[in-house]
């Protein structure tokens, strides 16, 4: 069976006044129907640019070069026409972004915004689209959806606005949902509610998910597999189970040590990764993590490690991947979803 989405050797760079920024450098992954993939990494690691590339949602004034392939249902989204892509956006591929206020139209009632997308993508009549919009708003947990659909976005709380975004994204029953830090702006209890809702609905509707986040709690709550990015490059790709049980890459391990856990707080132990990520305007020779890694060999500074396959569902871009995979399995840890 062919994959729903196949990203092959995607690279994206921007020409800026400060030089060429390599925002994504050699990213590959695939996603089957109904599957979910978490993309994790520090701020600036290329997560958002990767997801925007899938729908070619670059700024009007961006001087951008993209190479590679993005096959969606077998067709390369980097090569389809703009008209066709606008039918796919919001139709077969839904999106939810971090800040619902900038994505919602401030002067249009929320019900109409949901209905508009339904009309555009399905050709439903006005009353049909309205009914479906109210139904979706109700499904995402907007109380009194029938009345509240007449209200403007500003009269909703942050969590409720994000629920409206979920309603818009799922209203046309997409095959794929891309969520970029969808709950980062929300407080933790609301965050958990929205994640749960998103997960429930997408499973019910059989929708594949790309969940972009810097938060392992969010990944644990929503993803089957995870891709860890650093300095525009993929570092590790594995199942959630492997991530928490036997992360291979020193960078992934470093990130996991940063997850605040109860015992850390009691003993005051959090282990930041020393140093800073490299500037993406500079040419990166060797492994981008080498300057911050405790296991660096000469080779790491000279040659970029490929993603080594170390198990049926596990890849790691580290020259020591095979050796590290032989280590004793880490004891079961009480990682918890948010
Ligand atoms: N339109 C743009 N023009 C120039 N550089 C950009 C643009 N968008 C993103 N970048 C740069 O690309 C890199 C990756 O950004 P991004 O994908 O937003 O990171 P993340 O989502 O992981 O925080 C950053 O260095 C960022 O400054
Ligand atoms: Mg981002």
Residues 70-74: contacts with CB under 8 Å, at least 24 apart: 70/5, 70/6, 70/7, 70/8, 70/10, 71/3, 71/5, 71/6, 71/7, 71/8, 72/4, 72/5, 72/176, 73/4, 73/175, 74/2
- pLDDT of 262 reads 57
Does residue 69 sit within a domain? yes
pLDDT in the model for residue 135: 95
Specify the CATH number for the domain of residue 125: 3.40.50.300
Do 202 and 287 reside in the same domain of the chain? no
Note down the domain range covering 80.
Answer: 5-223
What is the reported pLDDT for 334? 44
Which residue has the least CA distance to atom 7 on ligand 1?
14
Ion ligand 2: residue ranges with CB closer than 5 A: 47-48
Ligand 1 within 6 A of CB of 45: yes
How far from 338 is each of 95, 200, 280, 293, CA to CA, in Å?
Answer: 22, 15, 32, 28
Summarised one tens digit per residue, pLDDT across range 98-130 is 876 778 999 999 999 999 999 999 999 999 999
Residue nearest to atom 3 of ligand 1 (CA): 14
Say which ligand is closest to the CA of 97: 2
Residues 192 and 254 placed together within one structural domain of the fold: no
Q: Please indicate, yes or no, if residue 335 is contained in any of the structural domains.
A: no
Q: Is residue 273 part of a domain?
A: yes
Task: State in Å: Cα 125 to ligand 2 middle.
Answer: 36
Q: Is 92 exposed, middle or buried (0-12, 13-18, 19+ CB in 10 A)?
A: middle
- Examine the domain organization and report whether 250 and 161 are in the same domain: no
Listed residues 193, 223, 253: the one ending a domain: 223
pTM, to two decimals: 0.92
Q: Which two tokens stand for residue 180?
A: 């970029």
> Are 64 and 197 in the same domain?
yes
Residue closest via CA to ligand 1's atom 13 equals 23
- Is there a single domain that holds both residue 98 and residue 242? no
44 Cα to the center of ligand 2, angstroms:
7
- Residue ranges of the chain with pLDDT lower than 70? 1, 100, 261-270, 328-338
Q: How far apart are CA 45 and CA 228, in angstroms?
A: 9
Domain boundary at 186, 207, 223, which? 223
Q: Which residues pair with 89 in a beta bridge?
A: 93
Rounded distance, CA 44 to CA 182, Å? 17
pLDDT of 337 reads 40
- Specify the pLDDT at position 335: 45
Q: How many domains does the chain have?
A: 2
The residue whose two tokens read 């429930």 is: 200
Q: 79 lies in a domain?
A: yes
Q: What is the largest CA-CA distance in the chain?
A: 67
Cα of 48 vs centre of ligand 1, distance in Å, is 7
Question: Which helix (H) or strand (E) covers residue 19, if one does?
Answer: strand 19-31
Q: Between β-strands 36-40 and 225-230, what pairing exists: parallel, antiparallel or unpaired? A: parallel
Residue 115: burial class (beta carbons within 10 Å; 0-12, 13-18, 19+): buried
pLDDT at 203: 94
9 and 29 together in one domain:
yes
Q: Is 102 in the pocket of ligand 1 (CB under 6 A)?
A: no
Domain-embedded: residue 338: no
Residue 320 within any structural domain of the chain:
yes
Residue owning the nearest CA to atom 8 of ligand 1: 49
Beta bridge partners of 36: 209
In a shared domain, residues 58 and 171:
yes
Do 243 and 286 lie in one domain? The reply is yes
Task: Please indicate whether residue 47, judged by its CB atom, sits closer than 6 Å to ligand 1.
Answer: yes
49 close to ligand 1 (CB < 6 Angstrom): yes
pLDDT tens digits, one per residue of 42-59 = 999 999 999 999 999 888
Same-domain status, 134 and 235: no
**Measured at the alpha carbon of residue 77, what is the angle toward residues 75 and 81, in degrees to the nearest 5?**
100
């Amino acid at each position: 069976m062919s994959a729903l989405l196949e990203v092959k050797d995607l690279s994206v760079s921007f020409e800026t006044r400060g030089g060429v920024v390599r925002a994504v450098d050699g990213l590959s992954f695939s996603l089957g129907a109904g599957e979910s993939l978490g993309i994790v990494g520090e701020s600036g690691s290329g997560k958002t640019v990767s997801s925007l590339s899938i729908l070619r949602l670059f700024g009007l004034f961006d001087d951008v070069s993209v190479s590679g392939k993005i096959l969606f249902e077998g067709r390369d989204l980097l090569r389809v026409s703009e008209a066709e892509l606008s039918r796919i956006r919001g139709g077969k591929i839904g999106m939810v972004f971090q800040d619902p206020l900038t994505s919602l139209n401030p002067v249009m009632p929320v019900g109409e915004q949901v209905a508009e997308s339904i009309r555009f993508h399905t050709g439903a009549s006005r009353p049909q689209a309205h009914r479906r919009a109210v139904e979706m708003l109700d499904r995402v947990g907007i109380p009194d959806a029938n009345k509240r659909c007449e209200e403007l976005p500003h009269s909703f709380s942050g969590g409720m606005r994000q629920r409206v975004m979920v309603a818009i994204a799922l209203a046309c029953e997409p095959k794929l949902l891309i969520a970029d830090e969808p709950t980062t702006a929300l407080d933790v209890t609301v965050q958990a509610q929205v994640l749960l809702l998103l997960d429930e609905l997408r499973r019910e509707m059989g929708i594949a998910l790309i969940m972009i986040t810097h938060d392992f709690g969010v990944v644990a709550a929503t993803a089957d597999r995870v891709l860890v990015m650093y300095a525009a490059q993929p570092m590790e790709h594995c199942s959630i189970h492997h991530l928490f049980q036997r992360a291979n890459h020193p960078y992934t391990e470093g990130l996991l040590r940063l997850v605040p856990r109860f015992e850390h707080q009691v003993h005051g132990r959090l282990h930041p990764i020393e140093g800073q990520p490299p500037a993406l305007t500079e040419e990166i020779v060797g492994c981008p993590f080498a300057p911050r890694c405790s296991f660096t060999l000469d080779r790491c500074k000279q040659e970029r490690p490929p993603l080594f396959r170390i198990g049926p569902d596990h890849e790691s871009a580290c020259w020591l991947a095979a050796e590290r995979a032989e280590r004793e399995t880490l004891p079961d840890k009480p990682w918890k979803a948010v």
